[in-house]
Amino acid sequence: MYTLYGFPGSRTTRVTWMLEEIGVGYEFVATRPHSKTAYSVNPSGKLPTLKVGDQTIIDSIAICSYLADAHPEAELTYRPGTIERAQMDSWLQFAALDLEAPLWMFNRQTMLLPKPKRTPDILELCAADWVAAIRTMATRLGENTYAMGTIFTVPDVALGHIGRWASRADFPIEPSSVAEYFDRVHRRPTLARALERESVAARELV
C-alpha cells in the first residue's frame, strides 16, 4: 500500500494518474503545500510526496518513474540501460525543463508572488518559450500516437498533465497534432479515475 501526500489539482495529479495506471491500492492524504503535514514528509514542504513503507520519495516525475519501475507488469517504462529508456528519460527532461518551465514561471508571476515582487515583462518571455517548446514537442512526436510510439508510458503522464495545465491557463496549443495528442491522453479512463479520487480527497484537506 502506498500513501500519497498531495494537493489535488497540482503536480500531484501526475502521481494519482500513475497509481491508477498501474492499478494498485493507495491512500490519499490531501494537504496543502507547506502545511504541517507536508513538512512532516518532505523537508521543503513541497508536494507530492509518496510514502513507501518507512521511506519517502519526493518530486512528481521521480515518483512516477519509480512506480513504473516497481510495477513492470503495467508496461509503462523500459529497462535501464536500453536506448528506449534513455529516450524516455529524455522526454521526461523535456517535459520538466522545456515544456513546464514557462507555465510555472507564468503561474508564479500572476498568482504566487506578491504583486511588488512580480516582473510583468517576464510574461512575454514565458509565452515565447511556451510556443518554442510546443513546436519542439510537435517535431519530436511526429506521427507517434504517444511519446514513445504506440505504447503509453511515463512521459505521457507528465506531458498530459502539462497539457491540462496549459489549457486551464489559456496557453495556445498548436499545431493541431499536439492538441490531438493531448486530447488522446486526456481521454484515458485512468485519468478520469485519478481526478475523481482527487475530488473526493479535496473534501478532507488537512
- pLDDT tens-digit series, residues 82-131: 999 999 999 999 999 999 999 999 999 999 999 999 999 999 999 999 99
Confidence of residue 204 (pLDDT cuts 50, 70, 90): confident
Q: Residue ranges per domain, the chain?
A: 2-75+190-202, 83-188
Cell of 84: 528506449
Task: Give me the residue label for grid cell 513492470.
Answer: 72
- 8 A C-beta contact, residue 38 and residue 12: no
Confidence of residue 206 (pLDDT cuts 50, 70, 90): low
Report the C-alpha gap between 96 and 81 in whole angstroms.
22
**Fold of the domain spanning 83-188:** Glutathione S-transferase Yfyf (Class Pi); Chain A, domain 2 (1.20.1050)
| Long-range interactions of 129-134: CB distance < 8 A, separation 24+ | 129/98, 129/101, 129/102, 130/99, 130/102, 130/103, 130/106, 130/166, 130/171, 130/172, 131/172, 133/94, 133/98, 133/99, 133/101, 133/102, 134/99, 134/172, 134/173, 134/174, 134/178
Correct CATH for 2-75+190-202 of 3.65.10.10, 3.40.30.10, 3.40.50.620, 3.40.50.720: 3.40.30.10
Whole-model pTM over 0.85? yes
| Long-range interactions of 40-48: CB distance < 8 A, separation 24+ | 41/5, 42/5, 47/5, 47/6, 47/7, 47/10, 47/11, 47/12, 48/4, 48/5, 48/6, 48/7, 48/10, 48/11, 48/12, 48/14, 48/15
Over the stretch 16-62, which tens digit does the pLDDT of each residue have?
A: 999 999 999 999 999 999 999 999 999 999 999 999 999 999 999 99
